[in-house]
Chains A and B, each alone.
Chain A
Amino acid sequence: MKQLFERLRPLFAVTDFEQRRTDLAFLHIPKDYAEMLIRHLRDHEGFSHLVFFTAVDYIEDGIFRLIYMLHNYATKDTLGVYVDLSRAEPVMTSIHPLWEQAALYQRELKEMFGIDFPGSPGVDEDFLLEGWDEIPPMRREFDTRAYAEKTFFPRAGREKTDPRAHMQAQLYPDEGEK
């Protein structure tokens, strides 16, 4: 897959090539060129399958990292394309012209992370969270536990034990804390 990276490097601003297995590699590309690169990979390098498309919230770095996972059936290679978006302006080019099913991923990302994909079909409709009016729940600054305790009438009496200490007391009560 190193040859693939060498072929791409004169054409696109790809950086940080990382080979994790013989058939699995990752590379980074700036936001503005990502759609072009993915189109090139699909049409000219045989990466015809969009395996998945998701995002990770790196709140410390102030970015959302989009991950496009592409698969090549001929060579059985899998390539992950990392695209960093600023958390302040999470807008990305839609890839639904390349793969129709990407629209569903993008609808989910809009709802769960608040990343907008202008022009993607149905991107503003509710997907799983009907009538959600807080910040998107998969963002790391969203306090899930506080929200649940505020909203869902928690039942009193829930106890929490450390699994290790609990099993130690159950199985080896004489040995004490190690």
Chain B
Amino acid sequence: MKNKDSMNDQELPNDGLTYPDTEYYCKTRPVPVAPQFEAMEKIRNWARANSLSVQAFGTGCGAVELRPLMTARYDAYRFGVMTSPTPRQSCVFIIGGYASVKTLKRIVVSYEQMQNPKFVVALGSCTVNGGMYWDSYNTINRIDYYIPVDLYISGCMPRPEALLAGFVKLKELIKAGKCEGANTYAENFDWYKANQKKIIKDWNMPDYNW
């Protein structure tokens, strides 16, 4: 982005809110966080990669794969992956397959409430190009126009083994410092927001939920 500083001064309009709610929500934009000195970032990324908390929010048919993944059969805890009940306590968001417009609204709210650094794993063909629902009236075609995606796992459905392989890959990416989705979102905030508002027509929530 060119004039980043002047952009950050602008307040969010919060057009979707009515009077008492406008007082309760913040109008500040998300701000990109610059990395600190390199050695420190490496240690932090190593720590981040080895304790991933998956948000327990099933957003499509792919969510059924999370049950065997997290329980005794495939036991993702071996890989340092655990579940957490709320968006604010988690750092990995698994988009489990197709997302309808109604679900996307909840995805945006949950994603924005997650704290930095946050990672998005898009599961299944539907998140890549719509999959078998590509010409549906209510299913979005590509999730990366609405939230930044770090890793895709293709397939319909991917097996839990594919998800485990995806977690291994995600760890590599995090350790290499390539998972900067939260910063991408903050830098291109207007573009993401315009895309979201294009399809979520009853926008009755704050422009940035946190």
Number of interface residues of A (CB under 8 A): 21
Residues of B within 8 A of A148 (CB): 130, 134-137, 139, 141
Closest to A151 in B: B199
**Chain B residues touching A, majority SS:** loop
B137, B142, B200, B201: which contacts A153 (Cβ < 8 A)? B142
Q: Does B2 count as interface, using CB distance less than 8 angstroms?
A: no
Indicate if the CB atoms of A153 and B145 lie closer than 8 Å.
yes
Closest to B146 in A: A153
Closest to B129 in A: A155
Q: Does A174 count as interface, using CB distance less than 8 angstroms?
A: no
B102, B128, B134, B140: which contacts A129 (Cβ < 8 A)? B102
B-contacting residues, A138-178, CB 8 Å: 142, 144-145, 147-149, 151-155, 157-158
Closest to B203 in A: A131
**Bound complex: CA A126 to CA B105 (Å):** 14
Q: Does B198 count as interface, using CB distance less than 8 angstroms?
A: yes
Closest to A156 in B: B129
Closest to B128 in A: A155
**Bound complex: CA A155 to CA B141 (Å):** 7
Q: Does B202 count as interface, using CB distance less than 8 angstroms?
A: yes
Residues of A within 8 A of B17 (CB): none
Residues of B within 8 A of A158 (CB): 129, 134
Q: Does B195 count as interface, using CB distance less than 8 angstroms?
A: yes
Closest to B141 in A: A152
**Bound complex: CA A147 to CA B141 (Å):** 12
Indicate if the CB atoms of B201 and A137 lie closer than 8 Å.
no
**Bound complex: CA A147 to CA B199 (Å):** 11
Indicate if the CB atoms of B142 and A147 lie closer than 8 Å.
no
Known: A129-B101, A144-B137, A145-B135. Is A155-B142 also a contact (CB below 8 A)? yes
Residues of B within 8 A of A145 (CB): 135
Residue from the set A145, A149, A153 with the largest chain B CB neighbour count within 10 Å: A153
Q: Does A88 count as interface, using CB distance less than 8 angstroms?
A: no
**Bound complex: CA A157 to CA B130 (Å):** 12
- Shortest distance from the beta carbon of A127 to any chain B beta carbon, whole Å: 10
A-B pairs with beta carbons under 8 Å apart, 29 shown: A126-B202, A128-B100, A128-B102, A129-B101, A130-B101, A130-B102, A132-B201, A133-B201, A137-B137, A144-B135, A145-B135, A147-B137, A148-B130, A148-B134, A148-B136, A148-B139, A152-B130, A152-B141, A152-B142, A153-B141, A153-B142, A153-B195, A154-B129, A154-B134, A154-B141, A155-B128, A155-B130, A157-B129, A158-B134
